[in-house]
Amino acid sequence: MEGDYNMADTLTFEEFKSSGITDKTPKNIVFGAGTIHKGLKYDASKKAWNFAESLIGATSGGTKLSIKPELKDIEVDGELVKVKELTVKTGETAQMDTNMVELSPETIKMAIIGQNGTSTAEGYDVIESKARIEKDDYIENFGYIGRFLDGRPVIVIFDNALCTSGLEIEGKNKENGTFALTMECYADLSPAADTLPYHIYLPTGTTTEQVQQSIDSSTEVTD
């Protein structure tokens, strides 16, 4: 009706922006492929991670982290939709998927859950299959280190990890070979086996310079 007041005519909607970018955005974006590690630990006395000593090798195509809770929705007569507080966590899975470029005795044994054999060929080591998974086949402190845009690390550690993907290598002309590693997180042998021992470390108020010094000091090679 002519002359009627329309509130929308007086609103500019300036509070609605075209993106979710804030001054915190650069600090929260993970960039780059990251690195994978075996036996990754923090030395409180040195205030540094054992980056160089724990590095497994070079990768291609990055590393994917997947942590998924297993949920069960309780069914109630008359319930037509999911209802808050009627969902139960029944378990969880955690795994890292990466593609290794370096083929070494360590990565082969990790992939196939194998063991050193007795070589009959001079100048060669041999890796063989074995019938049982042993305690030492679970990789202690299997880790991933990624980086935020400002250089700070994000660190993910599985206390116990086992490779479940096996070993598959395809050689192609004019291409380097890679093989996939799927490392799954396992709980400790305990009656309280209801959560997985994974840890995600995020820097707190530590400056980028201090974090970089921590990483640099752990990669220094001493005589």
| Stretch 112-135: mean pLDDT | 94
Share of the chain above pLDDT 90, in %: 69
Check residues 10 and 117 and name the one with the higher pLDDT: 117
Q: Which residue has the tokens 């050689």?
A: 171
Q: What is the pLDDT of residue 192?
A: 86
Q: What's the rounded Cα separation, in Å, for the pair 80 and 48?
A: 53
Asked whether residue 161 carries a pLDDT value surpassing 50, the answer given is yes
Cβ neighbors of 214 (< 8 A, separation 6 or more) are 47, 48, 49
Q: Which residues pair with 63 in a beta bridge?
A: 98
Cβ neighbors of 2 (< 8 A, separation 6 or more) are none
Q: What's the rounded Cα separation, in Å, for the pair 62 and 99?
A: 7
Q: What is the pLDDT of residue 50?
A: 96
How many H-runs (helices) and E-runs (strands) does the chain carry? 3, 11
Instruction: Report which of 128, 133, 141, 184 is spatially closest to residue 53, judged by C-alpha positions.
Output: 141
Q: Which residue has the tokens 């005519």?
A: 9
| Coil, strand or helix at 212 | helix
Phi, psi of 123 (to 5 degrees): 85, 5
| Coil, strand or helix at 160 | strand
From 11-15, 65-69, 139-143, 200-204, the region with the lowest mean pLDDT: 11-15
Q: Give me the DSSP letters along 105-138.
A: HHHHHHHHT-EE----STT---EE--SS--GGGS
Cβ neighbors of 12 (< 8 A, separation 6 or more) are none
Q: How confident is the model at residue 184 (pLDDT cuts 50, 70, 90)?
A: very high
pLDDT digits (tens, 9 = 90+) for 35-78: 999 999 999 999 999 999 999 999 999 999 999 999 999 999 99
Q: What's the rounded Cα separation, in Å, for the pair 53 and 40?
A: 8
Structure tokens at 95: 């795994």
